[in-house]
A and B are shown apart, each in its own frame.
Chain A
Amino acid sequence: MKISTLKRHFKEGAKNLIRNSWMTVAAVGAVTTTLVLVAAFLMLMLNLNQIADNIESDADIRVFIDLSAEEDDIDELGQNIGDLNRVEEFYFSSKDDELESLIEDLGEDGEAWELFEQDNPLNDVYVVETYEAEDLAGVASTIEGFSNVDDVDYGSETVDRLLQFNQYARYIGITFIAALLLTAIFLISNTIKMTITARRDEIGIMRLVGAKNSFIRWPFFVEGMLTGVIGAVIPIALVLGGYHFLYINLNDRLNFQFVELLPWNPFAWQLSLMLLAIGAFIGIWGSVMSVRKFLKV
């Protein structure tokens, strides 16, 4: 396409927005409302994902080895664990290591445990990591069946519940976002349809003098895109401002619960770009849909 033609399309698209200013306000409003909600859902979902990732990467299985196990038994157990195909890696942590890290973790309270250094009551431990957090339960129960295993622990309850919650949240979020986007597309296409009747003659004449359908469609394409991009401005402002506020005020408090929000920079920017793209996409889709039926030859 020639530059002059492209310029014409942009001029026409922008002119149409101004010419039908009330309809523009309605369409932009539809995009804005939708994107604010979409932004809220995306923010929630992406953060939940992040939390899930944290849990997943933190989660491991601790295999407590029988106190009576000999060195050979321990080696054999290690071999058995290593043979499991869902196991990503594992390492041995002797009871002395365990005690040391316990004392460290507990800080001042840990000093009391120093007494045990002479006669360590803890088990030797294998720490096992799986490829996926979903594999934890299966691998744990398999290992439980091996000999010389005293106990297996992977924080089953918490992890399972969090993972499940996260899964539901993801499904619900995606469903809501999809429904919102469809609604917005529908609203935009209807709004533009109302303005199109006025442009019917113009389209008719364009076709009569031999304009290609793509040529007729372009200004609508531009118009939809501009509608979407303008509609994204307020949601982006809300995301940039709102998330900054949340991040500053919430993140410190949440940190104690091993939960961390996605950092404001670059997350808020990424989300803003995403909103811009979604806005342009629904704008274009809505407007191209509305013009389709006027283009039959």
Chain B
Amino acid sequence: MIEMNNVYKVYENGVTALNGISTTIDNGEFVYVVGQSGAGKSSFIKLMYREETPSKGQVKINHVDIGDMKDKQVPYLRRSIGVIFQDFKLLPKLTIYENVAFALEVIEENPRKIRRRVMDVLDKVGLKHKARFIPAQLSGGEQQRVAIARAIVNNPKIVIADEPTGNLDPDTSWEIMRIFEEVNASGTTVIMATHSKEIVNKIRRRVIAMENGQIVRDEHRGEYGYED
């Protein structure tokens, strides 16, 4: 469970990104975070995997205040969260297999387990046959599927995606969404910031809409609600 309690985020340059946010996201929920650029979506999301810490207020994951967390604890928090970005962030010199295995290697997982888990997850995203390719040989949609595979390979409780379909054409976007739905169906909380009206309006889920660093709307099975 993710709880935010009157959270403010003011950056060093004086910009106020979040202006008193309070919300709760239960385990297993699927949540869209929508809003115009600069509304605070990214800051909101970054607080959850402690890329940022709140200037005021509390961010709790499973009742642990992660703002107060010691730096040493942060890696362990991140192992329970998978993060996906608009620009994939794959390592260009590594193969698809290595890119996914990387996430398990750095947490010192047993090498035999790594092989099995990586192949399993590549199968799940439909890229088992391209394990030996490097990212540049893959399409954008495929690269994003690799990034998702990397994010879910160690069975995180929460998956956070920051505009995962932002660089993809509509058809490919639906493929990505299908994977997210599967991930969510297996009990993983999915939080996704997006600008895609089509996706939000078609796959109806909870919608948190943000404006000027505040939550202006929070609806179950909500609509996108902006005219882009």
Residue ranges of A at the interface with B (Cβ–Cβ < 8 Å): 1-2, 4-5, 8, 201-202, 204-213, 215-216, 297
Q: How far is it, in angstroms, between the C-alpha of A8 and the C-alpha of B91 when the chains are bound? A: 17
Please tell me if the beta carbons of B150 and A209 are within 8 angstroms of each other in the complex. Answer: yes
Q: A209-B106, A211-B106 are in contact. List 19 more A-B contacts (CB 8 A).
A: A1-B108, A204-B89, A205-B89, A206-B102, A207-B75, A207-B78, A208-B83, A208-B89, A209-B103, A209-B150, A210-B75, A210-B77, A210-B79, A210-B107, A211-B107, A212-B75, A215-B108, A297-B50, A297-B71
Q: How far is it, in angstroms, between the C-alpha of A215 and the C-alpha of B79 when the chains are bound? A: 14
When distances are taken between beta carbons in the complex, the residues of chain A under 8 Å from B105 are 8
Tell me if B14 counts as interface (CB < 8 A to partner A): no
When distances are taken between beta carbons in the complex, the residues of chain A under 8 Å from B72 are 212
When distances are taken between beta carbons in the complex, the residues of chain A under 8 Å from B78 are 207-210
Q: How far is it, in angstroms, between the C-alpha of A141 and the C-alpha of B72 when the chains are bound? A: 65
Q: How far is it, in angstroms, between the C-alpha of A202 and the C-alpha of B105 when the chains are bound? A: 13
Q: How far is it, in angstroms, between the C-alpha of A211 and the C-alpha of B75 when the chains are bound? A: 6
Q: Which of B46-78 contact A (CB under 8 A)?
A: 49-50, 71-72, 74-78
Taking the nearest CB of chain B, how far is it from the CB of A208, in angstroms? 6
Please tell me if the beta carbons of B79 and A4 are within 8 angstroms of each other in the complex. Answer: no
Please tell me if the beta carbons of A202 and B91 are within 8 angstroms of each other in the complex. Answer: yes
Taking the nearest CB of chain A, how far is it from the CB of B30, in angstroms? 22
Which bracket fits the contact residues of B? 20 to 34
Q: List 7 A-B contacts (CB under 8 A).
A: A204-B89, A205-B102, A208-B83, A209-B103, A209-B154, A212-B75, A215-B106
Q: Which of A1, A205, A206, A213 has the most CB of B within 10 A?
A: A205
When distances are taken between beta carbons in the complex, the residues of chain B under 8 Å from A209 are 78-79, 102-103, 106-107, 150, 154
Taking the nearest CB of chain B, how far is it from the CB of A99, in angstroms? 79
Q: Name A205's contact: one of B71, B77, B91 (CB within 8 Å).
A: B91
In the complex formed, the residue of A with least CB distance to B151 is: A209
- A206-B106, A210-B107, A297-B71 are contacts. A201–B89 as well, Cβ < 8 Å? yes
Q: How far is it, in angstroms, between the C-alpha of A195 and the C-alpha of B108 when the chains are bound? A: 25
When distances are taken between beta carbons in the complex, the residues of chain B under 8 Å from A206 are 102, 106
When distances are taken between beta carbons in the complex, the residues of chain B under 8 Å from A215 are 106, 108
- A209-B102, A209-B103 are contacts. A4–B89 as well, Cβ < 8 Å? no
Q: Which of B103-139 contact A (CB under 8 A)?
A: 103, 105-108, 111
In the complex formed, the residue of A with least CB distance to B73 is: A297
Taking the nearest CB of chain B, how far is it from the CB of A197, in angstroms? 15
Taking the nearest CB of chain A, how far is it from the CB of B87, in angstroms? 10
When distances are taken between beta carbons in the complex, the residues of chain B under 8 Å from A1 are 108
Q: How far is it, in angstroms, between the C-alpha of A229 and the C-alpha of B33 when the chains are bound? A: 52
Q: How far is it, in angstroms, between the C-alpha of A133 and the C-alpha of B111 when the chains are bound? A: 64
Q: How far is it, in angstroms, between the C-alpha of A73 and the C-alpha of B129 when the chains are bound? A: 106
When distances are taken between beta carbons in the complex, the residues of chain A under 8 Å from B71 are 213, 297
In the complex formed, the residue of B with least CB distance to A296 is: B71
Please tell me if the beta carbons of B74 and A297 are within 8 angstroms of each other in the complex. Answer: yes
Q: How far is it, in angstroms, between the C-alpha of A212 and the C-alpha of B108 when the chains are bound? A: 10
When distances are taken between beta carbons in the complex, the residues of chain B under 8 Å from A212 are 72, 75
Q: Which of B75, B76, B105 has the most CB of A within 10 A?
A: B75
When distances are taken between beta carbons in the complex, the residues of chain A under 8 Å from B91 are 201-202, 205
Taking the nearest CB of chain A, how far is it from the CB of B161, in angstroms? 13
In the complex formed, the residue of A with least CB distance to B77 is: A210
- A202-B91, A297-B71 are contacts. A210–B106 as well, Cβ < 8 Å? yes
